[in-house]
Structure 1
Amino acid sequence: MSLSRVIYDPFSEFDRLFDEAFNARTGGGTNGNRQVAERDNAPKSMRPRMDVHEDAQSNTVLATFELPGLKKEDVNIDVHNNMLTVSGESKLSSERDENGYAVRERRYGKFSRSIPLPQGIKGEDIKASLENGVLSVTFPKTTPEQAPKKIAIN
């Protein structure tokens, strides 16, 4: 006999609405971003939660991704066409005996999340760390050469 458990995620609709609003605000409808959006259509159970915070004092953006149980070897961070993509593969399984029953839980699958980067961000400007299942990626909002410059009229 096999027991199957379906996990309902009440926040999946909220995530979809947030992603649509975020893409609309950052130009997610352009051809370059549409390809990334298509890759983000992973099943909701394999789509890690993401938070993005701006720090005005240090002029940085911090993106955090929930990746419980994953090691840094299981996660890839790529930058292409001003898009930061965090992807990887989850291969978690556990077995235990509970009240005379063998309980086996498995979570396999690939995931991918993408966010747009400001123009001019270089790979060396991006810092990442993975600690206790939380991936933190930090990058500057704008680079000094992108800062607006005042031009005097002669």
Structure 2
Amino acid sequence: MSLVNFFNEFDQLFDEAFARRAGGGSNNQLQHQPGNAPRALRPKIDLHEDKDKNLVTATFELPGINKQDVNIEVRNNVLSISGETKFSSDRDEKGYLVRERRFGHFARSLPLPEGVKPEEIKASMDNGVLTVTFPRQTPEQLPKRISVS
């Protein structure tokens, strides 16, 4: 199974779990639940696999978020990106005709290939785009050619 297919299945599993818990459908929009408690935001992600360079690049869309407000953790071979966008308290509720910007906690997780060490993961952020790279396969997992004698 390719990493992309595995990621899609993993992502769908989380979507279904959150949807069941929230009692609604799953999508990437902020959803309001009974009691006006917002559901966690899910940043959009692009996942690219470069087999020649043995590298996977995950690009997360985090507009308006500073890198200091982003948490990146690895636990049990799962990379988790999380943080919180805060609503500016200097703006009152009066005067808004349309309000589509979303505020609150955000989180996104994706499985890592076996053997990826946290020190092999690199992250950078530029203009609201978080880029995380890690090896597609570790040296121990790469195929080794065995000659026939």
TM-score (norm 1): 0.65
The aligned counterpart of 1:129 is: 124
Aligned residues: 126
Q: Per-residue deviation at 1:56?
A: 2.0
Map 1:18-97; keep pairs closer than 5 Å: 22-23=8-9, 28=10, 38=17, 44-45=29-30, 46-93=41-88, 95=91
CA distance in 1, matches of 2:5, 2:96: 35
User: Higher strand share goes to which structure?
Assistant: 1
Q: Which runs of 5+ in 1 are unaligned?
A: 1-17
CA distance in 2, matches of 1:153, 1:22: 39
| Aligned mate of 2:96, from 84, 98, 103 | 103
The aligned counterpart of 1:144 is: 139
Q: Which amino acid aligns with 1:143?
A: T
CA distance in 2, matches of 1:36, 1:122: 27
Q: Which runs of 5+ in 2 are unaligned?
A: 20-25, 31-40
Q: Per-residue deviation at 1:19?
A: 8.9
Q: Is the 8 A contact 1:95 1:102 kept in 2?
A: no
Q: Is the 8 A contact 2:28 2:44 kept in 1?
A: no
CA distance in 2, matches of 1:61, 1:42: 25
CA distance in 2, matches of 1:133, 1:21: 23
Which SS does the other structure have where 1:107 is aligned? coil
TM-score (norm 2): 0.67
State the superposition RMSD in angstroms.
3.5
CA distance in 1, matches of 2:15, 2:73: 12
CA distance in 1, matches of 2:139, 2:146: 16
Residue identity (%): 48
